[in-house]
Amino acid sequence: MRLLIRFPILCFAMVLLSIVGICVAMESVGFLLFAGTAAAMSWYLTEGPRGRHLPRWVSNLLIILASLYVFIELVQSGEAMNILGRFIVWLTLIKLYERKAPRDYAQLLILSLSLMVVGSLLSMNLLFGLILLGYSLLGIYVLVLFQLYRDFEQAKESRRDVVPENASLVPRVKPIIGPRLGLHFRSVIGSIALAGFFVSIIIFLSVPRGIGGGFASAWAERIAQSAGRIETGVSDSVDLAATSSTDVHRVVMTVRVLDRNGRAVRLPDPLLLRGHVLDVVEPSGRWISSTGRPHDRIETSGDRMIPINRAVDTDAVDDAYTFEFTLATAKNRLFTPWAPLAVSTERSERFRLDPWALTLTAATSRSLRSKSYRVQTVLDPPSELLQEIQQGQFTRWRREGRFPIDEEIRQLAISLLREAGIPTTPPDLEPADGQQPSRRAQAEHRLQWNRDVASVFEAYLKSDRFHYASDLRDVLMSADQSDAASAVRQFLFESRRGDCNFFAAALAALCHNMGAQARLVTGYLGYEFDEERQHYLIRQSNAHAWVEVRSGIFEWATFDPTPAVTPGHLASIESATLADRLRWLYDRLEFSWQSDVLAFDRSAQESIGASLQGRMAGALSEILIWTRTWARYFNQALSFAPAAYIYLAAIMILAVLWLYFIVWAIRRIQFLRGALALPDILSRRSRRMLRQLSFYLDALQALDRAGCPKPSWTPPLQFSHELARHNPTAAETLREISDLFYQGRYGLKELQPQEIENGRTLVQRLREQLHRN
Amino acid sequence: MKRQYHSYLPGLIYVVVTILILAAAISTQHNLLFWVFGVLVAGIIISGLMTLLMMRLLEVNRMDPKNGSVDEPLVVRYSATNHSRFLPVFNLTIEEVPVKGKEGGTHGGWSQRVSRWLHGTRHGEKSTGQTASPDNGWQHTMAHSTAWIMHIGPGQCIHGEAVFWPRRRGEVHFSALRVSTSFPFGLLRKSITIRHDQRTLIYPKLYQLRPGILDAVKPTGPMGERAAHRPGEGEDFYGLREFRTGDSVRQIAWKQMARFDQRTDQLISIDRTLPSPPKLRVILNLYRVADLLSEGDSSETKEEKVNRVERAIDLTASFIYAAHLRGFEVGLSIAGMDIPSLPPRRSFWHLARLLGALARINLAQHGQANGKTVSQRPANLPSMREKAGVVVIHPARVDASLTPPGTPGSSRSEGWHLSAEMIDQFVTGPIHFGGDGLAPTAAILAASESAEEVAA
């Protein structure tokens, strides 16, 4: 009875958990506070001492109002899943305040399941995953309990309907239970949960992925976008008029840096992992990657390191580091530090290498299959090595992709350079020893000027005149988008606030205005080091943009003008606290959750399949080898000829048949004991009965096969009377069998062999008569 | 034994939701949805498997139902045994079902079938109720509820009970029972139909007689209370005997002892006679029932005519029961039916026999069988040599010519003729015993036998 009493509160807990789950998925603390409080109050109001409920008409009215509100919100905003989630929460709250019959409880359960489904679509958080797991376990318990509760209520209602109103003294419906109900219920629920978990895992692993992904793809993409499942932050373009920073702290990859000896090390400077190189400014002011340059193709296969350029002897490079990347989800490009020498991937992949930007992109538009890869790199590569890597391809800076000359920006740049004492135009190299400097020397001298100029501008942007800000809605709303330079101009002269995109774009714009070659790079900034696992944690919020300025014919110097982002974080992790360790633990779990569960795809399925196939084949071959070895050993030990294998096979077959016979005999004895209702089988009398009265069991089986089984509560003689109505001859035979059976079983008579034989003959006759009928 | 799976609306909704989630998972390629889909499919598999395993080694029997009474709850008990060694059984529903084909159509039209399927009820009748009408069986005489057993552990035997509410007297035939469970998730309902024939009797409705009615019809004089020629606890003198240990001092015959020899030390006690309770014979006049049912007052419907006869039967049963409680020896004769007269006796067993005889009166058969013999005198009336008071109960008008053979003079001087039309003048209201466990009913039920035994 306590189980049934417990149902309403457990159902309420389950609904509350689903509300918490959807709020976690929507990452809305305010809504959680409101909905959670309203739900908690509903318990006190409806189930409390006064037990007040919302009238049906009021709840119907509220549902209509909620629907209208949702419709209006849906028209105004595009976040369909969030709105749907909120709407279901509204419905759930209204239901919680109503009077609850079994039907209402069923509706509440369906609503809470809907909340978790919407939450699944919205969230990739580990926390939501944990809530989902807890909800599933609690859900199984509550759902099973609901069946008992509903049928109990139905039984009560059925009893009420049967009995007239004025009747009294009718027995009450009570839950009829046997001993140890709690233990049995818990064990059944545990078994169901365990079986459900395993079956769901098998289904999860075996449902084919990648099939039908295009079905309703636009809708699905919108959902994924609104749910935050498409990673934002690192983009293949930078548009200041529509920039948005992400504050999602989900770990997207981990990077372990190995030195020459294979030891994990922590580098003194933050990692800058390059993703996209944006060197062209569109008339609208958007930075994009240049196209049209020739690309090289690279194919990786397994763990073997493939050099970017085959001409480079990677083994000969002394101070090379190996970066091991593990991604939460596979991407369509590799993030690498400057400058990559060789690469290997978990699975065979094909890449396009841009020699000028040194970026590796998937050869097709689809994502790569590998979620882990390694990159060998030199952190401060010499010019010769770079020349070898880039195959000596020098690319001229094309005028049409530069940032437009803006007078205000140019004046600012000139004033800054003058303040720093740097010439505003690239100085010519003076002739030495009466000889004109070579063209290469001239170029390198000019590129050195580039570096100086960029340094000045970087220092200016890092000064306290500018502030880093991630919330730029006011800046974007007041932005003047009249020309390509307007956003940079506004940043430099008016707002002086912005995220890394603004700072990087401003530095590149200043450089371009002074004629210094610079390009924007987007990627990740890695500075958070997990000391326990000895790897860097790269979060989605670590998406970053910086500038590379040409500092040699094949060299590019990195400038990061964004102020006060990295040093603070670096300082904070100098000494890891307990909170840091806990955070890292959570991050590790969440990373595993995302990379192993949420990012489980067809390639992972294939690898599991191949692994299982290999293991099964291995186990089978091991068994075969073992059998062969054992047979040979046996044969040699007994000095048998090869024909002995035939004897062995025959013995094995006999052993199997013998085993089968033993099982059959035990089962027959069990049936016979049940049919004879013997209290034990050890006494002499019982053994005699089992031996002598087996014909009775044969008779019962014959009746069963003929489709007229004898009910266990009907004595055989009485059953023969019933059988007489349909088959009088068989009934007569059964009567004779029953007489014999009664003599042996209840008359305790020791049957003579002739009588036993007679019993068997009668059973045979009974079979024929039943068959004939 | 017939095993079946039944699906109904919640299961269908569940399957539809599962398919929708699969579609969403394929479309979005979101792994959490794939997992939720896996959990839902696991629910279906586990549901089917659990119900199959739980019902596999389950044995359910109907325990011998006791006889009931009209407008009194009739509790039917079932014993359910779980022969499984490990697996408990949960959420078991047991209900009586008619056997298809033999006892009338139970499926109804398509609309009824769809409605039944949507509401998850099985086999024709809503669980609350009385259905239309098979010709035989309990459906048209009783409303019934289901028995519900929440849990049976491995190897345990549990008793559940269902309450029936008889509305008409008669003999009812339980033919089969259906055991079902939807545990654990309510997606599928697995049922076993077990053929189990049993019969029981529903006694007529009993009324409380008005005070004085029984005293009025109580036999007096030579027909009334008198002493039997046997020693007992009465007041009349029977004889003298030697004093025995335990005799009251008041029983000692002091005067008689004084007349005897003074020297004897032997005490003498007085023996009293055994009082013999009054005898009452109740005669139910069904002599012209066939005429009444077929012709009679044309303004009455057939049902009203039948109700009138039923009232007479109820009044007869009430007289028998009240007389039994007052300590009378009661006998019963049913005029116009081929049922032997039952002599006046007094015991619970005899009371059950009398009420059982009234319960088994089948008016429909009687009307057909006696249609041609309405004018003949009933041959089963007892002679008046048994010295019992006589109460004759008529369904309609009093037929004073119906008197026991050998009755001298007018009938009224030797018996009371009552018409069931005036039942309200004789009774105050129905007697309610309660469903189970109250003394009078329990005593009757305990003394009563099954219908087969009575018939035998």
Residues B299-344 have pLDDT tens digits of 777 778 888 888 999 999 999 999 998 888 899 988 888 788 888 8
Q: Which tens digit of pLDDT belongs to each residue from A376-386?
A: 888 778 877 88
What is the pLDDT at residue A90? 93
- Distance between CA A429 and CA B63 in Å, rounded? 116
Which of B26, B50, B159 comes nearest A212 by C-beta?
B26
Q: Which tens digit of pLDDT belongs to each residue from A602-656?
A: 778 888 888 888 899 999 999 999 988 888 887 777 777 667 778 878 888 999 9
Average pLDDT rounded to a whole number, residues A148-157: 89
CA distances from B342 to B207, B347, B353, B357, B411 (A): 22, 13, 9, 9, 21
- Give the rounded distance of the alpha carbon of A703 from its chain centre: 57
Residue B456 has pLDDT above 50, yes or no: no
Q: Which residue of B has its CA nearest to A125?
A: B32
Record: contact B30-A216, CB cut-off 8 A: no
Structure tokens at A474: 């006011």
Residues A499 and A243 sit within 8 Å (Cβ to Cβ): yes
Record: contact B145-A161, CB cut-off 8 A: yes
Residue B20 has pLDDT above 60, yes or no: yes
Residue A133 DSSP SS3: helix
What is the pLDDT at residue B122? 45
Segment B227-231 long-range contacts (CB within 8 Å, at least 24 positions apart)? B227/B273, B227/B274, B227/B275, B227/B276, B228/B273, B228/B274, B228/B275, B228/B276, B229/B273, B230/B273, B230/B274, B231/B271, B231/B272, B231/B273, B231/B274
Q: Does B20 touch chain A (CB under 8 A)?
A: no
Reported as a pLDDT band with limits 50, 70 and 90, residue A432 is low
| Residue A295, C-beta contacts closer than 8 angstroms, at least 6 positions apart | A352, A353, A354, A355
Query: Pick from B104, B125, B101: which is nearest to B115 by CA?
Result: B125
Which range in A532-546, A549-563, B347-361 is most confidently predicted, on average pLDDT? Answer: B347-361
Residue A761 has pLDDT above 90, yes or no: yes
Q: Which residue of B has its CA nearest to A130?
A: B32
Query: Pick from B180, B161, B190, B178: which is nearest to B79 by CA?
Result: B161
Q: Which tens digit of pLDDT belongs to each residue from A461-515?
A: 988 888 888 777 676 666 666 777 888 888 888 888 888 888 999 999 999 888 8
Give the distance from residue B45's alpha carbon to the nearest chain A alpha carbon, in angstroms: 9
- Distance between CA A178 and CA B150 in Å, rounded? 8
**A597: DSSP letter:** I
Average pLDDT rounded to a whole number, residues B355-378: 64
Residue B90 has pLDDT above 90, yes or no: yes
Alpha-carbon Rg for chain A in angstroms:
40
Structure tokens at A233: 């932050």
What is the pLDDT at residue A9? 93
What is the pLDDT at residue A684? 87
What is the pLDDT at residue A406? 86
Q: Which residues of A touch B149 (CB under 8 A)?
A: 176
Q: What is the mean pLDDT of chain B?
A: 77
Tell me the angle at which helices B9-28 and A102-122 cross, rounded to the nearest 10 degrees: 10
Record: contact A158-B41, CB cut-off 8 A: no
Residue B210 DSSP SS3: coil
pTM for this entry: 0.69
Residue B448 has pLDDT above 90, yes or no: no
Residue to mutate among B21, B22, B34, with most A CBs inside 10 A, is B34
Reported as a pLDDT band with limits 50, 70 and 90, residue B384 is low
Q: Which of residues 27-86 of B touch A (CB under 8 A)?
A: 27-39, 41-43, 45-46, 50, 59, 61, 71, 73, 75
How many CB atoms lie under 10 A from the CB of residue A146? 23
Reported as a pLDDT band with limits 50, 70 and 90, residue B129 is very low
Record: contact A176-B30, CB cut-off 8 A: no
- Distance between CA A544 and CA A530 in Å, rounded? 20
Q: What is the mean pLDDT of chain A?
A: 84
Q: Which residues of A touch B58 (CB under 8 A)?
A: none
Residue to mutate among A107, A192, A367, A593, with most B CBs inside 10 A, is A192
Reported as a pLDDT band with limits 50, 70 and 90, residue B404 is low
Q: What ipTM does this complex have?
A: 0.75
Record: contact A176-B150, CB cut-off 8 A: yes
Q: Which residue of A has its CA nearest to B88?
A: A184
Q: What angle do CA B216, B222, B227 make, to 5 degrees?
A: 105
Q: Which tens digit of pLDDT belongs to each residue from B151-210?
A: 999 989 999 999 888 888 888 888 889 999 988 888 888 899 888 888 888 999 999 888
Q: Which residues of B touch A170 (CB under 8 A)?
A: 73, 163, 434-435
Out of A176-185, A221-230, A300-309, B301-310, which region has the weakest mean confidence (pLDDT)?
Answer: A221-230
Please give the sequence-ordered ranges of beta strands (E in DSSP) within B85-169, or none if there are none. 89-97, 142-144, 147-152, 157-166
Tell me the angle at which helices A578-592 and A126-162 cross, rounded to the nearest 10 degrees: 70
Query: Pick from B321, B320, B335, B332: which is nearest to B285 by CA?
Result: B335
What is the pLDDT at residue B222? 55
How many CB atoms lie under 10 A from the CB of residue A5? 9
What is the pLDDT at residue A655? 94
Q: Which residues of B touch A592 (CB under 8 A)?
A: none
Q: Which residues of B touch A159 (CB under 8 A)?
A: 145, 163
Q: Which of residues 183-212 of B touch A (CB under 8 A)?
A: 183-186, 194-196
Which of B33, B88, B148 comes nearest A188 by C-beta?
B88
Q: Which tens digit of pLDDT belongs to each residue from A82-138?
A: 888 999 999 999 999 998 888 899 999 999 999 998 998 888 788 998 999 999 999
What is the pLDDT at residue B442? 44
More confident residue, B435 or B195: B195
Reported as a pLDDT band with limits 50, 70 and 90, residue A30 is very high
Out of A69-73, B109-113, B150-154, which region has the weakest mean confidence (pLDDT)?
Answer: B109-113
What is the pLDDT at residue A248? 67
What is the pLDDT at residue A601? 79
The letter for the amino acid at A754 is: Q
Q: Which tens digit of pLDDT belongs to each residue from A686-728?
A: 888 888 888 999 999 899 888 888 887 788 998 998 888 888 8
**Residue A572: in which H helix or E strand, if any?**
helix A566-572
**A464: DSSP letter:** T
Phi/psi-derived region of residue A324, left when phi > 0, alpha when psi is between -120 and 50, beta in every other case: beta
Residues A330 and A371 sit within 8 Å (Cβ to Cβ): yes
What is the pLDDT at residue A587? 81
Reported as a pLDDT band with limits 50, 70 and 90, residue A765 is very high
Q: Which residue of B has its CA nearest to A171?
A: B435
- Give the rounded distance of the alpha carbon of A673 from its chain centre: 55
Residue B73 has pLDDT above 80, yes or no: yes
Phi/psi-derived region of residue B319, left when phi > 0, alpha when psi is between -120 and 50, beta in every other case: alpha
Residue A568 has pLDDT above 50, yes or no: no
